[in-house]
Structure formats: structure tokens, C-alpha cells
Amino acid sequence: MKLTTLTDEARLALATLGDRAADLVSPTVRLGVTGLARAGKTVFITALVHNLVHGGRLPLFRAYSTGRVTGARLEPQPDDDVPRFDYEDHVRALVDQRIWPDSTYRISELRLTIAYESASYFRHRFGPGKLHLDIVDYPGEWLLDLPLLGKDFATWSREAIAMARSPARIVAAAPWLARLDSVDPAAAEDEMVARELAALFTDYLRACRADENAMSTLPPGRFLMPGDLEGSPALTFSPLTETAETAPGGSLGRMMARRYEAYKSVVVKPFFRDHFARLDRQIVLVDALNALNAGPAAVADLGAALTEILGCYRPGSGSWLGSLLTRRIDRILIGATKADHLHHADHDRLEAILSRLLAPAIERASAAGARVEVAALASVRATREGVVIQDSEKLPSIIGTPLAGETIDGETFDGKSEIAFFPGDLPNNPESVLSAPDSTSELEPSALRFVRFRPPALERTAEGITLSLPHIRLDRALEFLIGDRLA
């Protein structure tokens, strides 16, 4: 997928050369953290920092568990024009209030500096090492905009309208499509019509994202996360019917096409140039359980969205000389989040489902030289495991406190009561989640039920010291993403 011009590449090469010069003094890894809405990006970053700063239990993170990491601290971030990730407020939400912090709606950054002793005899002679980990948090929905750089307004309109008319989306799209059919793209440009169409189009995207539909392919990403661009002309447009291609000057069709191009210039290109193209490593967090709750159409759409996202990266493990001018993402971790909502026996199955959904994209990235792994994880573990007896059968269960308003079998929870809950078993065959249940399917309707749980009350030692946030495989994620840079 071609996302840049020669001019863009020249600017990126100069920026990369400057970054590499700085790395000679202070080695840095820029880690991108992304995922679609409610995948757990904010929680992942908060838990990662909290465990490293406060002495977490990280046995699989070898530099840490062997004592070679001697400390970690937050420092001022390098980019003054990027908002700081609000780590302290997020920790208070998790630890003191036991609520999940607000979701990512804009880009943010945090620098964590890790002090360590090298395992190499040669490097060890030069004294302690220091690695800056610059964590860049951004909404995955923004990645779904990057393919727009290679599409004109007519192409995007055709694809968006065809998708809206698919069986899984037609109900949510009905009000927007009905109004669209009554609009003449050749008519004179009209701000009120443009605003009405943009609002209906946004309502349709929002309905697709709701839990009962759980669709994931929802560009343009800023329509759902407008930030400081809310109400601007760059976000006041909508796909139009094919007749927009021949609309005359001064028409609604030309107006919409102009604003679409402005969206790409003002929103998409700066994000790619200033942030996305500067990453070294990447973790993509995925809430597959929400899609599984919604059914095969949502699972297939999640796979399509994630394939688009992975197709935007520049994977590879280029030569030392080439890396002076061009950044390549050499490690990509796909994290299946909320693994604590399943019994541990199902974690391998969750990983298999994601691996099946993303097989072509993973194969392309691996062929380009990048290492790609899939891991089931919970950045903050909100449950523990137990057993429930149902019809004289012992079933592996999870125990936790559902969020207020969550419902199971008609019972609505108050956010205070702890329950033991059997969520069902994931199928052994990943193909089962992509097709409608039938007599041969492993996955029956309503066989899986996932609810959201409150963050845990943190344990305290006998001395009254509060322990770090519990997790599932956060240490494995750290080992994969930065373990080699602490060798």
C-alpha cells in the first residue's frame, strides 16, 4: 500500500537521521500502542509503567526477573507538541476508585527510562545502560484512515455505500441511505445538507460500533473521535452516489469531494508523517471477545479491520545503514486482551482464533522480515479462577465483580457483588466463529457470554505495602517488545 510521495519520504528520511543521531547518546525505542475502541490501550500502558516502576511480578521478562533492570522512572517526553499520557490519573482510577480509565480518543506520549546492566561482558564493562522507551498511544480507528490516502472520493464513496448495504449493516445505515437517495450531487452546494448527511453518516458509524453490532471497519476514524476538529468542514462530508463523479463546479458533489481531500491533507497525512512512520515496535490490542459476543459477522469484520491496520505498517528488519534513513517496524505483537474473562484453558484457543483471522497479514509482515506474535493477555487481571457446579457437572469458572449494569441471564449487577461465572468454551476449530451455527458447528447460539468486570482491589503485604497491578502475560509482551534491547 503506497502511502507517501517522494517529498514525504525525503522529510521522513531527514527526521529519521536526526533521531538516529540522538540514539547514539541515548538509545530509544518508540513503541506504538494501538487497538480499536475499548481494546484496552490505556490500561495496557498504565499497567506496563506501574509494574516496572513499582516492582511488579514479571517472571517472563528476563532482564527484569534476573535483576538486571535496576530501575525505571518517568521522564519528560521528547515531543513537545504531543499531549502527555495521563499516567497518574489513570493509576488513581484503577487503584483508588477501581474503575477503568477513559478510553483513548487522541494521540499521547510517555517516556519511560529503564536503567539496566547488560548481560554482555563487553557492554557490561562500559557501565550501566539506559534505554528510553517512548510509548505512543493512538486510536486504532486512525489507522483505518491510512488506506484513504490511496483512494479518491468516488472510489471511497462506492466502497462505503456498498459496505453500508451489506446484511450486517443495512439496518444501522437505513436512515443515512434513505436521505442519501434523495440528494442530488449535482445540486448547488448547501452547508445544511452537508451537515445533515455528515451527522446521519456518523450516527450510522456509531450504531455499527455499538455492542450489539460490534463492527470494526469504521473509517473515517475522526468521525467517531473528532477531538478539536469537531464541527470543522474537514469533518463535514459524506459519501455520495456515483453521479458525484460528474458533478459540476459549485455543486454539492464537488463540495464533498473537496472536504474529503481536506480530511486526508489536514488529518491523515500529518498523523502518518509525524507519528506513525516514526515507530520502531508496535503492539496491536484486540478485543475479540466483544466481536464473539456479537456473532460471525462482527468477527469477520474485525478480521477485515485488523488486516487493514496491519497492512499499513512498514514491517522489516533492514540493514544498519538503511535504518539510518528509514524506520521499519521489526516486531509486532497482536494482543488478545481481556484474557482474564476466560478460563486459562481457553487462552490458546483465543490466540488460534486471532491467528486464523490475521493469517495473510501476519504472513506478509513475516515475509518482510518482521517478527510477529499473537498473545492472549490481560494488562490488569480483574478476575481469578474457580469452579462452579451446574447440573452436577463441575465447570471451570472465573470469579470477579461485574461492572454496574452488566447483565447475565436477566440479572443486572450493581458493581458491588462478586460472582462465579462460566463464560462458555471457545471452539477448538477457529473456523467455527466465522460461520453461522449449524448442526455441525462447535459454537452454538449464546454458547459464549462475556461481561465486563471491575478492576481488582490490590493486595497488600504484611507490612502494608500495596502490590503492583496483577496481569496475565504482560511480562511476555515486554520480553517480546523490548527484551532484546536490554540484552
Q: Mean pLDDT for the chain? A: 85
pLDDT of residue 16: 52
pLDDT of residue 464: 52
Q: Which of 314, 381, 292, 301 is nearest to 341 (CA)?
A: 381
At 370 the three-state DSSP class reads coil
CA dist list (Å): 162 to 168, 178, 307, 484: 12, 14, 19, 45
Q: Is the per-residue pLDDT at 92 higher than 60?
A: yes
Q: Is the per-residue pLDDT at 15 higher than 80?
A: no
Q: Which of 317, 311, 219, 202 is nearest to 263 (CA)?
A: 219
At 6 the three-state DSSP class reads helix
Output the nine-digit C-alpha cell for 379: 494488562
CA dist list (Å): 229 to 150, 425, 432: 22, 43, 42
Higher pLDDT, 40 or 14: 40
pLDDT of residue 120: 66
CA angle 312, 271, 299 (to 5 degrees): 45
Name the least confident of 49-58, 194-203, 270-279, 444-453: 444-453
Q: Which of 77, 140, 133, 153 is nearest to 109 (CA)?
A: 77
Helical H runs in 125-223?
140-143, 153-164, 170-181, 191-209
Q: Is the per-residue pLDDT at 122 higher than 70?
A: no
Most distant CA pair in the chain: distance in Å?
77
Q: Is the per-residue pLDDT at 477 higher than 90?
A: yes
Per-residue pLDDT, averaged over 359-371, amounts to 88
Residue 146: DSSP 8-state: G
In 3-state terms the chain splits into helix, strand, coil percentages (rounded to 5) of 45, 15, 40
For the stretch 400-411, pLDDT in tens is 999 999 988 888
pLDDT of residue 439: 40
Domain covering 6-138+275-380+473-486 assigned CATH 3.40.50.2000 in the classification = no
pLDDT of residue 445: 42
> Where exactly are the structural domains of the chain?
6-138+275-380+473-486, 151-270
Looking at the chain, how many residues does it have? 487
Per-residue pLDDT, averaged over 254-259, amounts to 94
Q: What percentage of the chain has pLDDT greater than the value 70?
A: 86
pLDDT of residue 321: 41
pLDDT of residue 446: 46
At 136 the three-state DSSP class reads strand
Per-residue pLDDT, averaged over 363-379, amounts to 92
Q: Is the per-residue pLDDT at 269 higher than 50?
A: yes
Q: How far apart are CA 232 and CA 255, in angstroms?
A: 14
Q: Is the per-residue pLDDT at 465 higher than 70?
A: no
pLDDT of residue 461: 58
pLDDT range class, residue 440, cuts 50, 70, 90: very low
pLDDT range class, residue 216, cuts 50, 70, 90: confident
8 Å CB contact between 32 and 45: no
Higher pLDDT, 34 or 140: 34
pLDDT range class, residue 117, cuts 50, 70, 90: very high
pLDDT of residue 294: 81
